């Protein structure tokens, strides 16, 4: 079974979210998601400055098996992307929780409360 860090929030669509100073939320995909996808070969990241709503599709991860959309865990604006994953998408396979994909300045960080905690996410992926 994959690790599920307690300090993160989780979307049912398998993104993780970490609230940082200044209401910035770093986002990546879960270890479960990367293991289901298999070898990741491409990650399409959003443009910095893009305004997004919670639940809106804003990125894509492609693997040798399939492509999967990524959704925003909060409403806000994209303030940073992890350029290194564009060149080396396999970083996500090597360490899903150490590899963030993009950061969003949250309009309302309380939206994170609607996401799953680690226990609830573990229950979701075990079903």
Q: Which two tokens stand for residue 12?
A: 């049912």
Q: One digit per residue, pLDDT tens: the chain, 127 residues?
A: 468 999 999 999 999 999 999 999 999 999 999 999 999 999 999 999 999 999 999 999 999 989 999 999 999 999 999 999 999 999 999 999 999 999 999 999 999 999 999 999 999 999 7
C-alpha distance from residue 5 to each of 10, 52, 67, 71, 76 (Å): 10, 26, 25, 20, 24
Whole-number Å distance between alpha carbons of 67 and 61: 6
Whole-number Å distance between alpha carbons of 88 and 66: 18
Fold of 9-115: OB fold (Dihydrolipoamide Acetyltransferase, E2P) (2.40.50)
- Determine the 3-state secondary structure of 47 from DSSP: coil
Please name which of 61, 64, 74 lies closest in space to residue 30, comparing C-alpha atoms: 61
């Amino acid at each position: 079974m994959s690790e599920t860090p307690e300090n993160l929030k989780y979307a049912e669509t398998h993104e993780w979210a970490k609230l940082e100073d200044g209401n910035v939320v770093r986002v990546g995909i879960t270890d479960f998601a990367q293991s289901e996808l298999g070898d990741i070969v491409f990650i399409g990241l959003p443009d910095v400055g893009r305004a997004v709503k919670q639940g809106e599709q804003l990125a894509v991860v492609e693997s040798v098996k399939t492509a999967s959309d990524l959704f925003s865990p909060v409403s806000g604006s994209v303030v940073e992307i992890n350029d290194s994953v564009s060149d080396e998408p396999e970083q996500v396979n090597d360490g899903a929780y150490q590899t963030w994909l993009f950061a969003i300045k949250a309009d309302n960080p309380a939206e994170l409360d609607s996401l799953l905690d680690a226990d609830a996410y573990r229950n979701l992926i075990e079903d």
